Structure formats: C-alpha cells, structure tokens
Amino acid sequence: MARPITIGGAQLGPIQKSEDRQSVVARMIALLEKAHARGCTLAVFPELALTTFFPRWYAEDIGEMDIYFEKEMPSAATQPLFDRARALGIGFYLGYAELATDARGETRRYNTAILVDRTGAIVGKYRKVHLPGHTDYNAALTRQHLEKRYFEPGDLGFPVWRSMDGVMGMCICNDRRWPETWRVMGMQGVELVMLGYNTPTGNQHGGLEPPHQRMFHNHLSIQAGAYQNATWAVAVAKAGVEDGHELMGGSCIVSPQGEIVALASSQDDELIAAECDLDLCTFGKSTIFNFAAHRRPEHYGIITGQTGATPPAEG
C-alpha cells in the first residue's frame, strides 16, 4: 500500500520592517499557486511568516511589539490566504506571533504555528516550547535575540493530529535541535513533522561555528529527528538579508530514513516539493524504532527529572 502526499516547502525571502502583511500574504499566495501547479496538497510556510523577525529589536515596553502579533486567526490580512488555499484544495502550516487572552483575561504572547486542512479549517495549534535567546538588552551583541522577552514558553506540549490522511505534528525553529521534541511526537506515531524557522546565518556568541557548520547543524537536527522517529519532516526558512541581518535558507524535505529529498537553492521566495509516501514510515516504526519492543523508560527518568546537566564529582 501507499499513502502519497505531495508537499511543498514554501520558503520566504526576507520581510523588511516596512513591508505590510498584505504584501507578505500576496507573496504567500503566489507560492500557493506554484504549489498547486506542482500538485501539492499541503504547503509549509516559515516561522513568524507574516512579519520581520522582530525579536532582534529591543523595546522597554513589550507592548510596543504587539503590532507584530495576531489577535485572531484568520485575521482580515490573512483571510485571502485561507480563501485561496481552500479554493486550491491545499492545506498549510503557518507560523506567526499570537496575542492570546487567558481565562483570567490576561494577555499572553506566544510564538505559534497552526495546521490548516484542505477545507480551510484550523485543525491544530502549536506554541513554541524551546525559546532561545535572552530576556534583557545585551549591549555586547550586534543584534538582540529577545524571544524570551516577547514570548512565553508554549503551554500546549507537542500534540499530533490525524489530518489529510496522516498523523501530523508541528514544532518551531529551535525546537528542532532538541531530541525530546521529536521523541514526544514519535511516541504518538507521528508521520509528518512540519516546522518553520528564522535562523541567523552567523553565530555572534563566539566559538567555532562558521556559516557552513550552522547549516550542517540545521540539517543534522532535522535528519536525525526524522530518522530516529521514522517520520517525514518538512523544514522551511525565512531567509535572506532582513533589516540588515542575514537569515539562512536551506529549507528541506527529509524522508523517514533521514535523507534530504528536496532542498532549497536560494535565500528568496522559493517552492520546493516532493511526493511523500507516509507508508514509508512503517518500516522504521516496525523495526529498529519499534518503541514498544525496544524502549527502556525505566532508565530515562533523568530526562524529565531535571534541566541542567550533573556531571560526576571530580576526584
């Protein structure tokens, strides 16, 4: 048997601070049209796909950054994206900054992604768990990375959903580097993990990590996560020089064997696509990564029992 689904990775080039949502959505719709022409029934857009990566800018009052957040989804600006996707019969993953109100009426801010099916219905929401960066202004840095200032850690865990004939999961950017992200979804039988990212090309914290190693680490994380959990993965960048700061490209589609089957070649708006047979996940899930047969959770308690590492005492 086979369960093929043709998936498009809809990489975006840079979004400058001066660009409004309407123009960004128009670019996204153009990518949807390309996806439809190539037979795609699912498209994956990047993290924070509607605006510039605003956490590189510091504001004393975090409320000043609310202009980059969405209070509802779909919004007036994004409704045309939902409408066109529904008309084309394409589901999609969309990353954006979410301004939410909790049960006590308090404002919450999350780095969020949603999964929309081919009818235009939102079937799943994920909020980024592994927030990188720092909370306060750091004068030693050439750019700030203030996700910990403007976002709260996600409160939804790593759920999966049955949609579009498969078991779908989501994560965002830095989540890809943490094996726990993949394994929690793997334990729920995930067959396709979608993730968007906005990742600087250079590392400004010192040490040896030139751009080619940054890209290697990007792909290594995705390929290892896909292989070790026998799942397809689609990872999509917002890339290029954005407000004077370069973001890496490298958008890719990875098979359950950990192989890259489609790879972006630019830092611009670009569509990559591949036919992904979800039944190819069965081999890994029933052999080397047959979790029921081989996992030994009685030995894994340290993973959930602490955060920092505890080396043995010296001497």
Instruction: Tell me which residue of 255, 242, 283 sits closest to 17, measured CA to CA.
Output: 242
Contact 35, 273 (CB under 8 A): yes
Q: How far is the CA of 138 from the CAs of 142, 147, 150, 204, 205, in angstroms?
A: 9, 13, 15, 12, 12
Burial of 210 (0-12, 13-18, 19+ CB in 10 A): exposed
173 is known as an active-site residue: yes
Q: Is 128 a residue of the active site? A: yes
Cβ–Cβ under 8 Å, residues 269 and 31 = yes
Lookup result for tokens 């409004």: 20
Q: What is the CA radius of gyration of the chain?
A: 19
What are φ and ψ of residue 7, in 5° steps? -115, 140
Residue 14: asked if its preceding bond is cis (omega within 30°), the reply is no
Residue 62: CB atoms within 10 A of its CB come to 14
- Of 98, 125, 171, 173, the catalytic one is 173
Through-space distance between the first and last CA atoms of the chain, rounded to whole angstroms: 59
Instruction: Give the whole-angstrom CA distance, residue 177 versus residue 186.
Output: 15
C-alpha angle 171/175/181, rounded to 5°?
A: 75
Q: Which of 40, 70, 128, 285 is catalytic?
A: 128
Token duo for residue 199: 């990742």
Q: Length of the chain, please?
A: 315
| Catalytic-residue membership of 34 | no
Query: What does the block give as tokens for 69?
Result: 């957040």
Q: Is 224 exposed, middle or buried (0-12, 13-18, 19+ CB in 10 A)?
A: middle
Neighbours of 129 (CB within 10 A): 20
Give catalytic residue positions: 47, 128, 173
